[in-house]
Structure 1
Amino acid sequence: MLTPISERFTPLPTLPWAKSEFVWDLMCQKDEISLCERDEDMFERHPYLQARMRSILLDWLIEVCEVYKLHRETYHLTMDFIDRYLSKMRNIPKQHLQLIGITCLFIAAKVEEIYPPKIAEFAYVTDGACTEAEIMDMEIIILKSLNWKLASITANGWLSTFMQLLYANQLKLRQHQSNKPDNFFLLPQFSGMAFIQTARLVDLCMLDIGCLRFSYSVIATSALYHTLNRKMTLSVSGMQWSDIEACVNWMSAFVSTLRETESSLESQALPEHISDSVRAMPRIIMDESHKIQTHSIDLHMLETAQQRLLSQSCIDVSPLKEVPSSPTVLTPPSSRKKRPQQVLVVESLVEAVDYENVSIEATVDYKNVPIKATVYYENVPIKATVDYENVPIEATVDYENVQPNDCGPTDCTLKSLIGDHNGAQRVTSLI
């Protein structure tokens, strides 16, 4: 159960210009509103769009931000505008998706950047797909749809706040700078290197449509939970473990993917434009290089992480988990005792598990009959190839659609699927 906003304690320090409790409550309320305005199932209202199109669009926008050296906050505002707009609209054709994306980036740049690129440059990067006039027309449409609410606290904003609080608590800088309480929280004190590493995880996981299930504050907290001090992360976010448990588990697939790409998150190389001052003094930010959006992730990494997510999801809901493993199951029962559900005993025969390909392969030698079976968790079919007396037999059994009325105790055999082969009835009990 999630902790209500009213019960989340305030981790903010004393502020000279406002009450910390009031500021924190306002931040949490904006976060909750932003979550309600983003719908994970928004593509159900857009039959011409797919979730992967969103990922491709965001990946391209990251490249554009890197080319023009736009800030991370600009990109995250762009993503927020896109998700909120698509959540409100219906039946958007795929030809308009790039126009929507570049227009949202145009709006976000005017909000966040001191010197935003000209509209001609935004039209140029679309390679003729969008004109300046189309961008200006779409700008008004999007602004009206968003009700001119352009000040969301993004995952990047929450991440900056939490990291500032995290390093403040670790170093106890407040005690050493008690004579300057006004400037302490306003000036960045956290590690630029750690921020880049954590922001990279946030960027990768937010390419996936599943991120829309979680609020920005939960995403930022979960990313810090994976990359930095876990105990302190909960203290600076004002959350309980139950608030972030689902997101932490979901994000673990993306963490594993990043650790495959690099030896570890902590050892990944910094981008070339990161200044030497960040390397020399990792706890003090001497410039704003860490705030520039970089294209350090790609769609291949996203696909790898999504395969892991699919594997985890299939394992969690797989009916095979309900069958206890036992070495005695290798002996097939008599045909009188066979039931359609006996297909589930394949779990006890598993010798090699390949979670990457979401499959389980097993080889069984029953009375000198080699049997190789592959179980696909997602679509639930069981495919088996049996070499019995040099007769290759292939069969597909869909135990989800097998009903007791469809076949009797002795009729649910491979014989009905492949013809009359010796030994077919005995093999069925194994798969």
Structure 2
Amino acid sequence: MSDKAPAFLKKMSRRSTRHTLQERNENAPEQKKQQRKRKGELTRRIPTTSKKQHYEIQNRCFDGDVSPSVLIETPQKEVLEETTNLSGFKRFRFKNLFVKPSPLPCLSWANSDDVWIKMLNKELKYVHDKSFIQQHPTLLPKMRGILLDWLMEVSEVYNLHRETFYLAQDIFDRFMLTQKDIGKEHLQLIGVTALFIASKIEEDIIAKELVILKALNWSLCPETIVSWLKLYSQVDSLKDEVNFLVPQFSQETYIQVTQLLDLCILDIESLDYQYGVLAAAAFCLTWDSISNCVRWMNPFAQTVREWPRPQLKDFKKVPTEDRHNIQTHVDYLAMLSKTHERKEDFLERMSPVAVMGILTPPKSTEKPAND
């Protein structure tokens, strides 16, 4: 018996092992289903986390100017990522980093940092450039000023808001940047179409409206100069425990600043500057980021100071508290002409010839003889 015991036990052990393996193979699909079920239950118990925002620092500095960096939202990244563009400059992506804190107060209806970042990003998305005039050989820069001056007059007649006019101006400038060889006979039609798009009025110009909308890829919501000005004015005059959406600034002061911006926007060189910078220069905010724009705007400000002070106007069906928002019109073309004369006089005074040729070497015949 003792001799057979080991063989018997081995045989039973092998049968037991085969039986155990067979049971495992038969039960494997069911076990996998149960495992997947338990895993699914565990997954459902874990609360989903909200999407984290990540931003890319983008430098907006120009030659001779100091502009604030802005942040561009990027796809989710867990770690710092380094990339090198074609120019050889390195770009970094940071998680949840703000270059400059938002100047907005805490808002009950939105995150102030998100609102600020979206405003800054729109300055990059909605591109305007005075070089568009080179794409239309029959047009002159002053023609744009005449058109915008006329649109201001139309806006006042129809009690349109300042935001509507400045949105129309942005639509016009960006549309012209996408086109080539537009003749001056089409300029007024494009301008009034842009105004109708901005004011959301349907007229018998749907064909041209569709052309403009397609060219702009239906991007119709920039932060205009006036929206930036309202933000600066509101933050500057904000009092404690008040609704941020209710205007706190003086209407009289507001229309004085808007008259300066109305005059500046007629000059095509205004397209050299971001809307936020133009509004800040008129409002006299941080010098480092707007110094070039302030210097350019100075002759315009001098002209505005010489003109009669703007007065608030009453409009039918417009509440008193909203009258500062209606786009008004004065003789801006005369003011623009005066400003250009002032700029020319300044350049003549600063030219080397006007300073007795100090920077020009004297002719050889005029040099004093050596003793």
Same fold at TM > 0.5: yes
Name the structure 2 match of 1:208. 267
| Distance in 2 separating the partners of 1:109 and 1:288 | 17
| Distance in 2 separating the partners of 1:25 and 1:3 | 12
Q: Larger C-alpha radius of gyration, 1 or 2?
A: 2
User: Tell me, which stretches of 5 or more residues in structure 2 are unaligned?
Assistant: 1-65, 72-98, 367-371
RMSD: 2.4
2:283 paired residue among 224, 234, 251: 224
Deviation at 1:322, TM superposition (A): 8.4
Query: CA separation of 1:33/1:318 partners in 2, compared to 1, >3 Å: closer, same or farther?
Result: farther
Correspondence 1:4 to 2:4? no
| Distance in 2 separating the partners of 1:68 and 1:29 | 32
| Distance in 2 separating the partners of 1:187 and 1:159 | 15
Q: Is the 8 A contact 1:200 1:297 kept in 2?
A: no
**TM-score, normalised via structure 1 length:** 0.59
Name the structure 2 match of 1:251. 297
Cα deviations by residue, 1:139-181 (Å, 9 ceiling, x for unpaired): 010000000000011000001111000111xxxx21xx2xxxx
Correspondence 1:146 to 2:211? no
Question: Which amino acid is the alignment partner of residue 106 of structure 1?
Answer: F
2:194 paired residue among 86, 95, 104: 104
Cα deviations by residue, 1:319-357 (Å, 9 ceiling, x for unpaired): 5558559xxxxxxxxxxxxxx844xxxxxxxxxxxxxxx
SS at match of 1:254: helix
Percent identical pairs in the alignment equals 38
User: Tell me, which stretches of 5 or more residues in structure 1 are unaligned?
Assistant: 111-115, 120-131, 178-182, 226-232, 235-240, 263-267, 276-284, 326-339, 343-403, 411-431
Correspondence 1:273 to 2:314? yes
1:1-150 to structure 2, matched below 5 A, reads: 1-6=66-71, 7-34=99-126, 37-110=127-200, 116=201, 119=203, 132=204, 135-150=205-220
Correspondence 1:194 to 2:260? no
| Distance in 1 separating the partners of 2:293 and 2:216 | 26
| Distance in 1 separating the partners of 2:278 and 2:133 | 21
| Distance in 2 separating the partners of 1:66 and 1:89 | 29
Correspondence 1:306 to 2:340? yes
| Distance in 2 separating the partners of 1:318 and 1:9 | 45
Superposition misfits of 4+ residues, deviation over 6 angstroms? none
Cα deviations by residue, 1:199-243 (Å, 9 ceiling, x for unpaired): 111000110001000000001111111xxxxxxx33xxxxxx221
Query: CA separation of 1:314/1:88 partners in 2, compared to 1, >3 Å: closer, same or farther?
Result: farther
Question: Which amino acid is the alignment partner of residue 106 of structure 2?
Answer: T
Question: Which amino acid is the alignment partner of residue 8 of structure 1?
Answer: K
Q: Is the 8 A contact 2:130 2:271 kept in 1?
A: yes
Name the structure 1 match of 2:93. none
Q: Is the 8 A contact 1:38 1:212 kept in 2?
A: yes
1:262-411 to structure 2, matched below 5 A, reads: 262=308, 268-273=309-314, 287-318=321-352, 320-321=354-355, 341-342=361-362, 409=365
SS at match of 1:409: helix
